[in-house]
Structure formats: C-alpha cells, structure tokens
Structure 1
Amino acid sequence: MTQVVERLASTASTQGIKVKGVYGSSSSLARQISRGAPADIFISANTQWMSYLEEQIEGVKPSITIAGNQLVLVSGKEGVTLDKLDELSNWNQVLDGQRLAIGETNTVPVGIYAKQALQNLDVWQSLSKHTAPMKNTRAVLAMVERQQVPAGIVYLTDANQSQQVHIVSDIPTELYEPIQYPALLLSDKSNAKQVYKALYSKDMSQYLLELGFTPLTH
C-alpha cells in the first residue's frame, strides 16, 4: 500500500493538494488514530482493525474496500521448493533448523493470516516454535531479502515489489480469511474527500491490479 499512497500523493500534487503518508502496521495506526493522532484517511490491511477504529470514532461513514491480496511463501535463495504445504517434513527441509519469518500473529494482519493458514494446514503447532515474528510485512520481507531466514510468508504484492526474493509457493486463499484493504474517510476537508474519491477511481483500480492486488472496489 506504500506505493498506492505514493501514487495518490503524486496525483494529488498535480491538483495542488499535499498528501503526507504515514506508514506502519494496521494495528499500530488504528490505535494511534483512536487516541487522537491526526489523520484524514486510514487504509487498513485488516477488516478487524478497521472495525475497531470505526467503533472508536463517532460519525464516520462506513469504510470502502478498495483491494484484496493473497499470501505467498518466499525465499531469498534460488532453487527452494515446497511442493506439499500440509507436510511438516517439507517445511523442515526448507527451514533446515532455522526460523520462518512471519508477522506477529496477535496484532499484525500478515501474521494473523499466516497463522490461520498454517493452522489449517496442521503444521502450526510445530512451526510456531520456529518462527521469527516481525512488526510488519516490510520487516518480514527484509529478513528474507537479507537471508537472515530461509523463508517467510508475505503478501503477493510484497513479493512482486522485491528483486531479491522469489515465490516458493502460493498459499491457497481458502486457508485464511479474505485479505481485504478497507479505506476510511476521517475528515470533512474537501481536499481529503477528493483524495479519498481517487482511491476507488478506475485509474487506481488499474494501478492496484498492476501491483498484484485484486481490485475490490464497491
């Protein structure tokens, strides 16, 4: 979503509107906004954290889902394969006694989804003892890029943006809750409304598709 916000800022600047992006995990941003941190638009990678914020702030209109995503297993090394995700021996072969990088499983969306997938594959109980939990998906990706871990679970869009990792396996979407990105307008400012509207324009839907997102504007 960093690229999406940067695209919004670039487009808005041509119309004389300055957009400042503040980046972080959905959980930390939602908490900060609920405690009074200034924000005009909030984009979450998780519907639960969006619901949390909507409950905390009175008078806001319902959020709009602008895109979807999926999980993939990535590695910084060439030739890594994992054919059957539900066989623990395959995971152990890939990890080779090292750790699997994932997002924190209690608060960070990419970690929450990863845990759901691994639980449904019946490998979580064993793999949970060999994970490297990170504070956001960028941190997970960085661990894999630097080869500090042999593999990690990130969003497809993360993998598409990196030149230093390759996709070992797609993780079937039926193994975890749908990954959706709701956006919420928090301001009555005309400029904020204009930028918010651009989020679900045809041009943005096309850009989301190019990044690897699934446009879900409705």
Structure 2
Amino acid sequence: MRALLSLLLLLLAAPALAQERAAPLVLAAASLQEAMTDAADVWAGQGHPRPVLSFAASSALARQIVAGGRADLFASADADWMDEVERRGRIVPGTRAVLARNRLVVVARPGTPDVSARRGAALARRLGGAPLAMADPAAVPAGKYGEAALRALGTWDAVSGRVVRAENVRAALVLVERGAAPYGIVYATDARASAKVRVAGVFPRASHPPIVYPVARLTDGPAAREAEGFRRFLLSRSGQTILARRGFVPR
C-alpha cells in the first residue's frame, strides 16, 4: 500500500516537473539567428533544456504575440515593436532590458564599388538605377533604420522607387547574395554572417536612430522558469561575449 501511494504521488508530480523543465520558446529578430543559436547551444550544454528558437521580422513576431500567440521570450530589433507588445500587456514587468546594439551598413557582392562617405545625389548615382534591397521600411526595423539613414543623407526620394522591400533583413541579404540587387541595406552582423557579400559602406551613427535590441519575458509563457534563466544568461557576461563574437555591440 505504501509503495502504491508513493507511485501515485510520483505520477501526480510528474506533469509539474515536466512543465518546470520545459524548453522555452524564444521569438527573436531574424538578425539574431547565429548569435541566439550559439547562446542556446551553450545554455543547453550547461544542462538546461535547449530553447526553441523562432526567427522572423520583429514586426511579424510582435503581431503574433499581440494576436495571442504564446511564447516565453521576445527579442526585438527595435524598441518600437517591444513598446507595442508592452502596451498590450504581454510583457512581464521588470524583465525588459537592452540585449545588444548594432550598426547599419550597405552590402554588395565582391567587385562592386564602395558607397562610403557619399551623400545626396552622389550616393544616388552610385546606387544607380538598379534595385536596392532592404527590409520593408513600412514595418521592419532594419528597413525603418535604412529609410531614416537615406533621408538623413538626402537620398531617399531618389532611390525609394527602386527599393525592393523584403520581409526581413535576411531576405534582403539573400537578394544581394544572389545578384538580384547590386546593393542592400542590412545590419553589420548580417554582413558578417555572409561569405558572399562585403561591406560597401557604413552609415553614420547620427543618420538613424540607435539600433537597440530589447529582450523581455512574455506573460502566459509555458516555461517561465527556464525562460527567465535563459534571459538572465543572455544578459550576463557569458551571454554578451557570445553576442560580441557575432559582431553585436555590447549593451
């Protein structure tokens, strides 16, 4: 009878234990793909459940969260979409923090001329009449930063009609890699992740809002304990070192 009672208690406790050790679901900006994968591998190597990672444009992920999608962590490529999620009451208070920072660059295939230190009509002429690949400026952070930079340099009106609006920054990168566009606007970390393109120009920091990646834990996440542990790891010295290796600027 005692053995039967012990077995019954164990069976009743099993679901709670399984939930406590459930793998957290992390929704992260597409540009975080390599860095977040590295961090998840290291975290799992320390004996934790490996986070399940889902990458897309921050705008798409934020809309998914606002629509009621359940996840544990959200890492956005800008503050605006995190603000929207927070306004909808989907962020656990006190868990929002700056994860990393980035730079905005122009990429091109090898052999394509640089566009560095050019403004206005000179930059527009260098970009030429060919397509310019960038994430959709109407919603995606990388595209919004890109439009702001081109406006600050007096070039947006001349090139906006040739912009190929990709669903996220990695899709814009692929267009340049495949030769569908001679130039593209992406983050410095995206350029670093590709062996098929090179940096043809770096936008001045003052030409666009600071590129800041906030991270926060989401309400109703199914793996709150593990998600909080992974969030703290990302913000720790070890996590920041992993991000820095992929080219992100420390927070």
- TM superposition score category, shorter chain reference: over 0.9
Aligned to 2:191, which of 155, 159, 164?
159
The answer (yes or no) to whether the contact 1:43–1:184 under 8 Å persists in 2 is: yes
The answer (yes or no) to whether the contact 1:82–1:91 under 8 Å persists in 2 is: no
* 1:17-38 alpha-carbon deviations (Å, 9 max, x no partner): 1311011000010010111112
The answer (yes or no) to whether the contact 1:103–1:135 under 8 Å persists in 2 is: yes
Greater C-alpha Rg = 2
The answer (yes or no) to whether the contact 1:145–1:165 under 8 Å persists in 2 is: yes
2:224 and 2:90 map into 1 onto residues whose CA distance is 17
Pairs within 5 Å for 1:63-102: 63-95=96-128, 97-102=129-134
Which amino acid in 2 is paired with 1:86?
R
Aligned to 1:12: 43
Aligned to 1:24: 56
The 3-state SS of whatever aligns with 2:105 is strand
The answer (yes or no) to whether the contact 1:78–1:166 under 8 Å persists in 2 is: no
Structure 1, unpaired ranges of 5+: none
CA shift for structure 1 position 92: 2.2
CA shift for structure 1 position 93: 3.2
Which amino acid in 1 is paired with 2:242?
Y
Change (3 A) 1:25 1:58: closer
Structure 2, unpaired ranges of 5+: 1-31
More off after superposition, 172-181 vs 14-23: 14-23
Which amino acid in 2 is paired with 1:170?
V
1:133 and 1:46 map into 2 onto residues whose CA distance is 18
The answer (yes or no) to whether the contact 1:81–1:94 under 8 Å persists in 2 is: no
2:137 and 2:55 map into 1 onto residues whose CA distance is 19
CA shift for structure 1 position 59: 6.3
Aligned to 1:190, which of 212, 216, 225?
225
TM-score by length of 1: 0.93
Aligned to 1:143: 175
Change (3 A) 1:84 1:91: farther
Which amino acid in 1 is paired with 2:228?
K
Aligned to 2:152: 120
2:39 and 2:178 map into 1 onto residues whose CA distance is 30
1:8 and 1:93 map into 2 onto residues whose CA distance is 39
The answer (yes or no) to whether the contact 1:86–1:121 under 8 Å persists in 2 is: yes
Change (3 A) 1:8 1:210: closer
The 3-state SS of whatever aligns with 1:11 is helix
CA shift for structure 1 position 168: 0.7
Count of aligned residue pairs for this structure pair: 215
RMSD (Å), alpha carbons: 1.5
Change (3 A) 1:85 1:19: same
